[in-house]
Structure 1
Amino acid sequence: MSRLTFLSLFLLSAFSAAGQEHTFTPRILPPDFNQDREQQMMRSYLREKAHKHFHNRRKKLEQLDTPEKIAAYQAELRAFFRETVDLDSFPQSPLSPQVTGILERDGYRVEKVLFESQPGFHVSANLYLPEGNGPFPGILHPCGHSENGKAYESYQLANQLLVKNGFAVLCYDPIGQGERKQLLNEKGAGLLKSTSEHQILGRAPVLLGRGLAGYMIHDGIRALDYLASRPEVDSERLGCTGNSGGGNMTAFLMALDPRIKAAAPGCFITTLKIKNERPGPGDPEQILFSQIAAGLDHPDFAIIRAPKPTLILAATNDFVPIEGTWDAFRQAKRIYGNLGYPERIDLIEANEKHGYSRLLREGAARFFSRWLQDRNTEIIEPDSLQPEKEEDLLASPKGQVLSLPEERSLFDLNAAYATHLKKNREAKWNSMSLEEKRSTIRKLLNIEDIKLTQTPIARRDLPPHHSTSIIKAGRLTLPRLDITRPDGKKEATYLVLDDRGIPAAYKSYQQSLDAHDITQVSFIDLCDIGETKTSNWRFYGADWAISLMLGESFLKYRVEEILAIARAESGKPLHLFATGELAPAVLHAAVLEPDLFSSITLHKSIHSWEDLMRKSDPTPDTHTVVHGILHHYDLPDLKELIPCPLTQLQ
């Protein structure tokens, strides 16, 4: 029987033994390891990296004391911003707008609107138009994370206040909210809450080099295109405001689209240094690849547009840290002052919780009146304003745009763009030599050689022939469990990298080990696996989101660890088995240094990154995702380069 077949049988029988009870539960790292949520290993590791960049950015900001220096800073960050979401890759296709209904109200009307931000990809919106002769200044209003999108009460009240004061307002549903749910149940209604849906939708676009932010920014720009196209609207007097997720989109759009003359982002602006800790990194549409490394922080969304008028809307009791908001405001205020226009940026802090509260709505209306209507007036929201029923504001016949004929979902757009990238990359990849491919992989992932040391840990509770040790891989700590049979020749090592962690893996394999002639098996938890796993302090994958903002990936960290571990085996044959999210890291390591591995077996692993374009699982595979990797290669391209026997078990 071949060694590969033998190993595969061993591993299959190991999984059949999963769940059986064993008296020994391997816990290798100290009891207090990762117990302090603030000082968990990966949080601390990523924090240290991020804080160096934050420090360098502040030093750079202090040197912006002339209009010329500021202009160069603005141009650099604006160019980076456009590139990191691949904004130029989105189609500039016809909007094909439709007005599907009109509500006539006292002093204004509401048009129910559909338009296509991409072919077959509809945006649902309400356009509020004042009575009288235009053209009126226009306000774009992207929604925050409301389940009913544009029908959310405080957003309706903001729109009504603005339209009654002479503004045309376009309030639209973001992807995953209101009428634009991308996951529907059997009744045709939204399957998940908006934030949960965004977590799922946010994975595949990263592989495409766009991120969910790219799609949402493009939607916002096309919404502004539609607003500006209306004859009732003065395209030279455009503003933008939104709260929470809408504040996020307002901040992004006001930095990127020069047509926005005045902007009021609400309950979003703070600093990443504080926000990454409390409450943690935002939803996927808030995450920009390499933004921390590039020096793009929240204050920069205002700085990039300086000296255009900007009003930061904030709440005292917000989960968005208010101290960070004031720090961000002060940073931007200094730049506006250095340009000679300190009065063009301001901040309103309402003694409220997170939300587009009345004081913020009134402050935004006064701000837009000043800068887009050239009038200073006290605007008070009347108590008579009444929100419409949600069903009366629906723009699509069945309340969800996915029910429209030939409508495309975000999953469809992802898959189509992935197919486009595959056609473009294949010729280039196939023309490369093996060394060129390895060099490309190292460069894309920024693979570095890390030092590895291993310290044995003496324990009295170990079963016979068991030993434990702690590995220091670079600045990270990894646990290791070895089982060595005294009667066997130590001619090879079987290394198990199980994404469930060592305790679960040990329970699965221990009985099978006794039944087969395996002389040495080693179990190691790579970073963010098993004992090293980060307890969620925001949402699943928050640490991955920070690595993404650093311009890095967990795939990079794990490939570096595998290579360091394999090199330390001193030339003995190494048979490697990996499960789930660790399999892609193993493939990369085997391509980069194939002489280190005698055989590889993968279990329950994804076949390709392209397969993720349509997956709607809530969490699996997130830590395998690398920004823009499908512009260059996919996992099947790597499998073809591995010379040792490779088995994939399902």
Structure 2
Amino acid sequence: MILPRFHVALGLALLSSIPSPAQPWWRGNVATPAEARAQTDRAIGQLNPYLNAIGYAQLTRRAERVAALRTRTDAERRQVEVRQKIKDLVGGIPALSGPVAVQTFPGFDDEGFRIENIVYESAPDYWVTANVFVPDGPGPFPALIIAPGHGAGKSSQYSWGVNFARAGILVLAIDPMGQGERLQHFDPELGTSKVEPVGEHEHANQSALLVSQHIARYWFADGIRGIDYLVQRGDIDPARIGTFGCSGGGTAAAYLAAMDERIAVAAVSSFITSFTALLPGHGPQDAEQTLPGFIAADLDFADWVELAAPRPYAIIAFEEDFFPLVGAQQAHAEAERFYGLFNATDQLKFIRGPGGHCNLGAVSPELLRFLITHLVGPHAPIPALEPRRPTDTDVLNVTPTGQLSTSIGSAIAEDFTRAAAAAIPRLQPFRSVEATAHHRDELRDNLRALAGVVARPGAPAPVVTTDSTASLDTYLLEHLTFASEPGITLPGLLARPHQRGPHPVVLWLDALPLDRIANEPDFQRLAASGHLVLALHPRGVLGEPDPQADRLALGQYMPVHLRAHAVGKTLIGMRTDDTLRAIDWLRQQPDVSPDQLTLFGPGAQGLVALHAAALDDRITAVVIEDTLVSYRAAVAAGLHRNLSEVVIPGVLNRYDTPDILLSISPRPVTIINPANPMGQRMSNADAAAELSAVLATDTNLGQPDRVQIIHRDPRDPRPLP
């Protein structure tokens, strides 16, 4: 929220309306739409430029390295390095070799082609539904692998399949994960996905990130095994296999051409651009298109093209696309030089079209000429694109029920995530203070490396300005602005008792508008009882989501989460930086007691509070409320909500919340209403089971009550000091 810069008189008038602690107030009250918009605008208005600046610096470094390539050997060496980087970023490609397992279902014949309906296995027990458009004749045929855009159905591929088949090209048209007949969370009663079909990619990816994986690995596997299937058919020319797609389908085509050299030609539409052009606007798009640390690893969209060099490649871009045309031109210019190192600039084509996203009709003659020339031959006739629609879209359904889950069963991507998490050993109880201390030291290194925390306790305090002050009966209420780092200012609300200190301190991290925090009975009680209370909005806080309007899969933090992860940042890490810097400032205040600092964080800020306490021994106690009990629980659950705000790529490979709780020992931690991955309150017993190693260690060390798990009704006071 953008805090008003009160004149003192206005501040007194507004603050006089704050109810006394005796008046009822509870967190059921939410921000008004205007408050929520103002808070979101302020947060995004700062965070996006901050993250963009990091990305621009990384892209400049990358551009210098690419510009230093001088020979074909240099280019080939970079291809090997980049391909391995990408495999590492996605957690490797699921391994499956040998003959492709295939199941066939009834198809149908049409004029000049027939459709075969199949499913094939691209990873163990992980099946892909596909329509195969087969030309008339004996073959061998050239072939294309195509996929629809994100959210589009298989009928969107029908016209392309028909036209290419009638031109003599066999087409394998697949359903991407989470689309068509491959919904990962299909609910037969709803007749659709529990997480909304367009959000299935995002939902699966948030879980995968926790175990150092990314769902692009399944796009790679689907395409690679698709080539294997085509080759084993016997009616395909293995030297003439291509790929084509637009938007999400363009993503799949770019990935396949980059990761499998058996692709002889690629046409990629409405995907290739540059991050220099993309970041100022929409920024990173869908989950499958945004690999964690991609920009930080010296990568850009042009790398997808350059990995295909010197094979024929067409970049197709549109003047009004949200994948900016200027970025596509930049990628083409760089890739053209890269292709030049192979003496193959004539193999790279740029097709520019009018209109918006995937306006393929306007460029179809040029697109068809490119693909048919390279797949059929330079003298093959180029047919006019004839728009075709199936008379009944149901005929394109491969499986009897129209969904893999209810027809033949299939693993889903999150099954692989759960298997990876299950293979990670759980924390075991410790029996000595020395072992606990060693674990704490290791955790701090891991936490900084994965969450990306850079602040160090005891650094010079940030610059803080007072925007307004109002005097209440027992304390002053000050609106503050914290300059956490260049480009990042944070609103704060400080209750400072009239009586001289030193005072115990409560640092209150929250997503609620600050004036609403000032109305909280606990805030008022603490301030009136002689505590110095600082309520702070860490960076990027967009306010509390409306549980009725919130989309299960995405959550309001998905766009920020994608942008941050692309440049190697996390919201948890950046907010922990802000918290540590706020403590640096608090410790400099003359009326602060240095050994009485409690950190309180509700919701996602509870995980920020835990991370800060793990790194800063000056925090003497931690209270969290409605906070996810563990990352492992999020992976194990079938569904989760708003996980994007707290995701840390690879976190479960190094640590989880029980590790953090253990590292805070011997300092006390109170967990109020521990939350499951859906944001619902867990039973105290279930939470204790999830944290059993911590509770057992505390018992072994003679402090069995250090971690308290309690239930609180919204009207009850919090157990704050």
Fold-level similarity (TM above 0.5): yes
Within a 5 Å distance, the mapping from 1:632-647 to structure 2 comes to 632-643=654-665, 644-647=667-670
Alignment of 1:17-32 (within 5 A): 17-18=25-26
TM-score, normalised by the number of residues in structure 1: 0.88
Q: 1:14 to 1:294 in 2, by over 3 A?
A: farther
- Which one of the candidate residues 558, 576, 594 is aligned to 2:575? 558
Query: Shift in Å at residue 424 of structure 1?
Result: 11
Aligned to 1:325: 328
1:2-17 alignment to 2 at 5 Å? 17=25
Farther-moved stretch of structure 1 (557-566 vs 573-582): 557-566
Q: 1:46 aligns with which of 51, 60, 70?
A: 51
Residue 504 (structure 2) pairs with residue 481 (structure 1):
no
Deviations 1:386-438 (A, max 9, x none): 435220010111111121354333333322222123469999x9996432332
1:513 paired to 2:525? yes
One-letter amino acid of the structure 1 residue matched with residue 286 of structure 2:
D
AA at the equivalent of 2:267:
A
Deviation at 1:212, TM superposition (A): 2.3
The equivalent residue for 1:412 is 415
2:230 counterpart of 1:223? no
What is the SS of the residue equivalent to 1:412? Answer: helix
Structure 2: which amino acid aligns with 1:508?
Answer: E
- Of 628, 634, 638 in structure 2, the residue corresponding to residue 606 of structure 1 is 628
Residue 458 of structure 1, CA deviation? 4.6
Please give the secondary structure, in 2, of the residue aligned with 1:346: strand
Contact 1:255 1:301 in 2 (8 A): yes
1:328-357 deviation digits (Å, cap 9, x = unpaired) = 111111221232111100011222332262
Partner of 1:256: 259
1:125 aligns with 2:130: yes
Matched, 1:544 2:561: yes
Partner of 2:163: 161
Residue 78, structure 1, aligned to residue 83, structure 2: yes
Partner of 2:477: 466
Which stretch of the first structure deviates more once superposed, 278-287 or 467-476? 467-476
Query: Which residue of 1 is the match for residue 5 of structure 2?
Result: none
Q: 1:298 to 1:361 in 2, by over 3 A?
A: same
Closer, same or farther: CA 532–45 of 1 in aligned 2, 3 Å: farther
Question: Of 175, 181, 184, which residue of structure 1 is paired with 2:183?
Answer: 181
Residue by residue over 1:104-135, the C-alpha shift from the partner in whole angstroms, topping out at 9 and shown as x without a partner, is: 11221111111222333321110111121222
1:525–1:109 Cα change, 3 Å: same
Shift of 1:309: 0.7
Q: Residues 636 and 101 of structure 1: is their aligned pair in 2 closer, same or farther, counting only changes over 3 Å?
A: same
Whole-Å separation in 2 of the counterparts to 1:416 and 1:300 = 31
Q: Does 1:596 align with 2:618?
A: yes
Q: Is this contact kept in 1: 2:144–2:171, CA < 8 A?
A: yes
- Deviation for aligned residue 1:552: 2.0
Q: Distance in 1 between matches of 2:87 and 2:283?
A: 24
Task: After superposition, give the CA deviation of every residue in 1:165-184 in whole Å (9 maximum; x if it has no partner).
Answer: 11111111111211112233
Q: Which SS does the other structure have where 1:504 is aligned?
A: helix
Tell me the amino acid that sits aligned with residue 269 of structure 2.
G
Per-residue displacement from partner, 1:14-47 (whole Å, max 9, x unpaired)?
997226999xxxx9xxx9998589x811111111
What secondary structure sits across from 2:258 in the alignment? helix
- For 1:542 and 1:15, the matched residues in 2 are separated by 39
Pick aligned residue for 1:56 from 40, 50, 61: 61
1:189 alignment partner AA = T
**Contact preservation (8 Å) 1:554, 1:623:** yes
Distance 1:539 1:480, change over 3 A: closer
CA separation of 1:382/1:446 partners in 2, compared to 1, >3 Å: closer, same or farther? closer
Check 1:460–1:430 CA distance in 2 against 1; reply closer, same or farther (3 A cut).
closer
Kindly tell me the number of residue pairs found equivalent between the two proteins: 623
Query: Does 2:583 correspond to 1:583?
Result: no
Cα separation, partners in 2 of 1:387 and 1:432, compared to 1, 3 Å: farther
Indicate conservation of the 8 Å contact 1:425/1:632, yes or no: no
Change (3 A) 1:582 1:215: farther
- In the alignment, the residues of structure 2 paired with residue 531 and residue 190 of structure 1 have an alpha-carbon distance, to the nearest angstrom, of 27
SS in 1 for 2:355: strand
- Tell me what 2:585 maps to: 568
Question: 1:207: which partner in 2?
Answer: 210
8 Å CA contact 1:490–1:520 kept in 2: the answer is no
| 1:209–1:627 contact (8 Å) kept in structure 2 | yes
SS of 1:573's equivalent in the other structure is strand
Q: Which residue of 2 aligns with 1:502?
A: 514
Q: What secondary structure sits across from 1:544 in the alignment?
A: helix
- Alignment pair present for 1:233 and 2:239: no
Alignment partners' CA distance in 1, 2:145 and 2:38: 50
Q: Could you tell me which residue of structure 2 aligns to residue 151 of structure 1?
A: 155
**1:268–1:134: structure 2 CA closer, same or farther, 3 Å change rule?**
same
Question: For residue 492 of structure 1, what is the aligned residue in structure 2?
Answer: 504
Distance in structure 2 (CA, Å) of the matches to 1:555 and 1:315 = 37
Greater displacement, 126-135 / 411-420: 411-420
What residue identity is the alignment partner of 2:141? Answer: F
Give the root-mean-square deviation of aligned CA atoms. Answer: 3.3
Q: CA deviation at 1:274?
A: 1.1
Mapped contact 1:501–1:529 kept (Cα < 8 A): no
Aligned residue number for residue 397 of structure 2: 394
Cα distance in 1 between the residues matched to 2:123 and 2:235 = 24
C-alpha distance in 1, partners of 2:96/2:516? Answer: 48
Q: Distance in 2 between matches of 1:461 and 1:578?
A: 25
Deviations 1:181-223 (Å, cap 9, x if unpaired)?
2233424334565433333333111112122222322222222
In 2, Cα distance between the equivalents of 1:446 and 1:375? Answer: 53
- The separation in 2 between residues aligned to 1:419 and 1:239, in whole angstroms, is 38
Cα 1:212–1:501, aligned 2, differ >3 Å: closer, same or farther?
farther
Unpaired segments ≥5 residues, structure 2: 1-20, 546-554, 588-593, 674-721
Q: Is the 1:147–1:193 contact (alpha carbons within 8 Å) kept by the matching residues of 2?
A: no
Tell me the residue number matched to 2:343: 340
* 1:7 corresponds to: none
- Checking the alignment, whether the CA contact within 8 Å between 1:199 and 1:284 is kept in structure 2 is yes
TM-score of the pair, normalised by structure 2? 0.79
Q: Identify the range of structure 1 (221-230 vs 267-276) with the bigger mean alpha-carbon deviation.
A: 221-230
2:445 counterpart of 1:439: yes
2:265–2:375: 8 Å Cα contact kept in structure 1?
yes
Counterpart amino acid of residue 503 in structure 1: D
SS in 2 for 1:496: strand
